[in-house]
Chains A and B, each alone.
Chain A
Amino acid sequence: MGALKTPDEALLRRARALDPGALAEIYERYLDGIYRYVYARVGHQADAEDLTEQVFLKMVDAIPGYRSRGIPFASWLYRIAHNLVVDRYRRAARQTLELHEAVEDRGPYADPHGRVEFSEQRRRLIEAVQQLTPDQQQVIRLRFIDNLEVGQVAGLLRRRPGAIHALQHRALNSLLRLLRAQQPAEERVGGGRRG
């Protein structure tokens, strides 16, 4: 899966001094993840670009005072992104996007191949995720769509890693049950490869 690795302490120390090389390295490491995190929640490219840019500007403003205190750097950065997304919705008096809207609504910028490949399997997957509990949905999105590590999810949600482990296990099992209940017997996951 290649989840995001936490920057080492030396890199963070340079970043705190606003060293351009260190900031650029952190930017390259986190840009795709932050952009996708925002995109999946705001639903179109222009908003995602605007908010992602703001995340990194706020990071520059705040990083001189950043101290880990046991919270992974990624959790801190994603918390900035989370707050900006929430703030944008508050300003626009909108509700948070559901997963299906975020994925389907790629606006005018969608890759046409991606849209063609938006198959029945994916639709079923989204529907199944939406039937999970809010906690399970959140962990599934952060772990397997946003690709964060357990410790990073725990830091972001301010929960213990053990709770995230248990939640992801329950969520995956529930999801599997829901998908199996939706599919014809011959296509079932584990019985034969889908799609």
Chain B
Amino acid sequence: MAEMERALDECLSALNDGRALQDVLRRHAGRRVDLISLLQLSLDLGQLRPPAPQITFRLRARNRMLARAQRGRSLPRRSVNLARRLRPVLVGAAGVAAAVALSAGGLTTAAAGTLPGEPLYQVKTAVEGIELRLTPDSQARAQLRLEFAQRRLHEAQRLAQLGRGTEAVRLADMYATTVSADASDRDVEAGRKAADEELRRLAGTLSASGDRQAASTVDRARSHLDQAMANRQAHHGQAAGATGGHAAQDGGGAQPEGAAEP
């Protein structure tokens, strides 16, 4: 390592560890001015750091992470393997049980109109998760996801009317992501128009409530969605042309690839 690199590294380490710089600078007296300039610059770059997360998000994400860990702990590895082998049987049995529970479920009815942050909201999303897991057909599952995304958008509308713009934007973004990923080729055009209209209405509500920045974020989500759907339509058009009109049906074109390597 060159002498100046080493000196800079020593200074950065001292800064990092909260130690006084004087000793390090004294050892490199001939380079003191240059080192101070570089150190000042490294601190200036810290000003470009984005804001810290909000406390509500911090708590929500922490709880979800710990809930996921709890589920992981309750299924030891041997049980996971067994569960995989028994999955078809379990799905059938759970389907019957869930159907009974869902049809008789006063709790789920009570949860239906809840909003994020309310006690029963998690019941609503948990039931949705169960319904998804119990739907083996991929097209039916995609349809269900769209239906749930629609619910998120209605919740976003209600949140916007309550002045909770931040959460409304988050739900609108979830909606846009799901719609762009799950719309099948047949209903791309219809889905695009409906989604555009819904998001336009939400932006209008946010704007009318005075939250113009949230409205512009929703508008941005609209244009991203519009672009994604247009790309998708073009992709399906090409696929239909190449296969004589029998385009792939599973709506998988916009599905993400495995995200994390580790």
A-side residues, CB < 8 A to B, are 1-3, 17-18, 20, 23-24, 27, 31-32, 35-36, 39-40, 44-50, 52-54, 56-62, 64, 66, 76, 79-80, 83-84, 87-88, 90-94, 99, 102-103, 106-111, 114, 121-122, 125-126, 129, 140, 143-147, 149-150, 162, 165-166, 168-169, 172-173, 175-176, 179, 189-190, 193-194
Contacts and interface: CB of A to CB of B under 8 A. Distances in A.
A139 to B, nearest CB: 11
Nearest to A126: B48
Interface stretch (B95-103, B142-150, B174-182): B174-182
B217 A46 contact: yes
Chain B interface extent, by class: 35 or more
A108 B169 contact: yes
A122 B47 contact: yes
A166 B216 CA distance: 42
Interface of B: 1-2, 4-5, 8-9, 12, 15-16, 18, 33-34, 36-38, 40-54, 57-58, 60-62, 64-66, 68-70, 72-73, 165-166, 169-170, 173-174, 177, 180-181, 211, 213-214, 216-217, 224, 227-228, 231, 254, 256-257, 259-262
A190 B37 contact: yes
A169 B4 contact: yes
Given A2-B16, A50-B173, A165-B5, A40 B50 contact: yes
A125 B50 contact: no
A107 B217 contact: yes
B254 A83 contact: no
* Minimum-distance CB pairs A-B, first 10: A108-B213, A190-B37, A144-B45, A39-B50, A80-B260, A108-B214, A53-B61, A46-B170, A56-B65, A35-B53
28 contacts: A17-B73, A18-B69, A27-B65, A35-B50, A36-B49, A46-B173, A49-B53, A54-B259, A60-B68, A62-B260, A62-B262, A76-B262, A80-B262, A84-B259, A91-B228, A92-B227, A92-B228, A93-B228, A102-B50, A103-B48, A109-B213, A125-B44, A147-B46, A150-B9, A166-B1, A172-B42, A190-B33, A194-B44
Nearest to A180: B37
B50 A36 contact: yes
Nearest to A91: B256
Contacts, number: 206
Contact of B66 (A23, A52, A93): A23
Given A23-B66, A80-B262, A108-B217, A145 B48 contact: yes
